Structure 1
Amino acid sequence: MATNKSQEIELKFMINKDSIKDVECYLNRLGKPTESLQIANIYFDTANKDLHQHKIGLRIRRWNDQSEQTVKMAGSQVGAMSQRPEYNIDYTGSVPQLDLFPADIWPQTINTRKLQEQLEAQFQIDFQRQRWLLNVGVSTIEVAIDEGVIFVPTKDTRQEPICELEAELISGNITDLLQLSELLTQEFTLAPGLLSKAQRGFILAANAVVE
């Protein structure tokens, strides 16, 4: 089973729901929209949040008839821009299988066998993703608008809406990604997304009422 490793480099912005149509029209002028996706992410950790403490995100993502498990390792963030190593593997199970990932990616303080036994779902993120592939300078950039909800299936079913714009560098250089960011922020009121969807999910889960 092949592991797809990449260095995720992206910009994330919070977008006002009322501005989405205008942003979509603007992006349609810059490039061609691709197929929209309905995505369901389930994030996993231990009861003690061992992965979250190491700034590691573990999820199963499902869309259309596809499914994969993903681990995102600790990276760096400056304002709206984040860079993180990411590993993706096609997977149809209900709980991530850690031994499918390369053994050398884990911090020495993590015992993956023990961790595997303790994994449990923490929260779910469901959203509609509209995507555009843009050519900016020498680079290819995927821009996505995500609308949906983060929810914790506990006694009080805490939930929080998602309305985000992400721009991910597929190939090329960061300069072109920043140039696109400047264009977008000049046209629209966009707030830097300082927290990832997963970080927001863990905050929501921490405040949920457990049955």
Structure 2
Amino acid sequence: MSDEVELKLALDSGVCPALLREIRRFKVLSEKSDYLTNCYYDTEYHYFSAAQMGLRVRCEGGRFTLTLKSGGKVTGGLHIRPEYNVSLDSEAPDLARLVPLLPEGLVPDSVLQQPLQAIFSTDFERRSWLLQSASGAQIEVALDQGVIQAGNAQEGICELELELKTGELADLLDFVAELKLSGAVRFSSRSKAERGYQLAGLKVPPPQDWAKGWLDTFNQAERAEKTQQKITALLGYEQALIEDTLQSAPTPDFTQTVERVGAFFNLYHYYCTQGECLGENEALRQSNEELLEEIKAIIRTHSANWDNQEALQALSAILQQPDYVHRMCALIRLSQNK
């Protein structure tokens, strides 16, 4: 078992050429290109999806690997999760081969006896580079482009995964901070497995009450004894709000639009008025002040013309700016400080 530590960026496909040029600014230790086919499995009663796990068989270069990923922890776009792998002789998901590697009780014996069924697939081209950062850390950068398929439904994949191979988490965050990004790009907390389960209809996100969510987050942040706990609570709320905003179709409902834009106003306003939680990071303070002004401009325009689609498009554009990635990177760093 190993803990996978990675950052994930969701991209617009038009960003890729410039991003590839940017990657080559760093020292490239090795590179390769593969086509990966992945089939995700579950029991009849969907034990693994309900337990926030992903069970898959991957074929890469004619080699088959069975992998179980448990829920782990996602903070912003930072994914830290236990991962268990075993080689297979074929594409059949032989779960018994994986059992000796699993902690006792992670998968009950009753589940191990149940037959598995294919739920969805994720097939994509992966171009990957093992890079050496300025600090000497080794980071694998993988550009995945392909498709998620569940029955007749499908969804595109275009994302950049940055996995820490050697070094410290700070090295990975420094590396992302050094990247010169352009176009529509953002941190993503949704794994391919989560997207696949949603596409298959096994995980339907419930409607969110973001006003109540903010109140709960505010109270949690105010009760936090450490800055790290405060930032973690705020960052979790923000990333969930971002994901929901960019997944949702523009709503014609004026009140819902006001609540969504208002949730971001509350968040940025909190950072601006509770600046001590940001320590001495002056760039982060300025970023929040600028974001607050941009949200105020959206609110003024929306109040004047009641154009919900225009307001949400303006909000979405803000959330996918390269500078927003660097801001989130700085917040993730604060959330990891002990």
TM-score by length of 2: 0.56
Is the CA contact (8 Å cut-off) linking 2:96 and 2:112 kept in structure 1? no
1:108 corresponds to which residue?
105
| CA shift digits 1:72-106 (9 cap, x unpaired) | 12200100001011111111333322222244735
For structure 1, the residue ranges without an aligned partner over 5 or more in a row are none
Q: State the 1:40 CA deviation.
A: 0.3
- Size of the alignment, in residue pairs? 199
Residue 54 of structure 2 corresponds to residue 60 of structure 1: no
State the 4+ residue runs in structure 1 displaced beyond 4 angstroms: none
Greater share of helix? 2
1:150 corresponds to which residue?
148
SS in structure 1 of the partner of residue 114 of structure 2: helix
Q: Structure 2 matches for 1:84-95, cutoff 5 A?
A: 84-95=81-92
SS in structure 1 of the partner of residue 189 of structure 2: coil
CA–CA distance in structure 1, aligned partners of residues 160 and 198 of structure 2: 21
CA–CA distance in structure 1, aligned partners of residues 104 and 198 of structure 2: 23
Q: State the 1:55 CA deviation.
A: 1.2
Greater share of strand? 1
Is the CA contact (8 Å cut-off) linking 1:10 and 1:167 kept in structure 2? yes
Q: Structure 2 matches for 1:131-146, cutoff 5 A?
A: 131-136=128-133, 137-146=135-144
Change (3 A) 1:114 1:72: closer
Residue 85 of structure 2 corresponds to residue 96 of structure 1: no
SS in structure 2 of the partner of residue 22 of structure 1: helix
1:41 aligns with one of 35, 38, 41 = 38
| CA shift digits 1:133-192 (9 cap, x unpaired) | 11111310000100000001x3xx1000000000000111100100112123x5234211
1:196 corresponds to which residue?
191
Is the CA contact (8 Å cut-off) linking 2:84 and 2:102 kept in structure 1? no
Q: State the 1:196 CA deviation.
A: 0.1
| CA shift digits 1:100-145 (9 cap, x unpaired) | 2244735737434544433111001000001111111131000010
Is the CA contact (8 Å cut-off) linking 1:51 and 1:57 kept in structure 2? yes
Identity %: 33
CA–CA distance in structure 2, aligned partners of residues 91 and 104 of structure 1: 14
Alignment root-mean-square deviation, CA: 1.9
Q: State the 1:54 CA deviation.
A: 1.2
2:274 corresponds to which residue?
none
CA–CA distance in structure 1, aligned partners of residues 120 and 137 of structure 2: 35
Change (3 A) 1:26 1:104: closer
CA–CA distance in structure 2, aligned partners of residues 56 and 16 of structure 1: 27
CA–CA distance in structure 2, aligned partners of residues 109 and 85 of structure 1: 11
SS in structure 1 of the partner of residue 129 of structure 2: strand
2:181 aligns with one of 153, 174, 187 = 187
Q: Structure 2 matches for 1:11-50, cutoff 5 A?
A: 11-32=7-28, 34-50=31-47
More contact order relative to length (CA 8 Å, sep ≥ 6):
1
1:6 corresponds to which residue?
2
Rg larger for: 2
Change (3 A) 1:16 1:204: same
CA–CA distance in structure 1, aligned partners of residues 181 and 198 of structure 2: 31
What is the letter of the counterpart of residue 34 of structure 2?
L
SS in structure 2 of the partner of residue 146 of structure 1: strand
CA–CA distance in structure 1, aligned partners of residues 106 and 59 of structure 2: 30
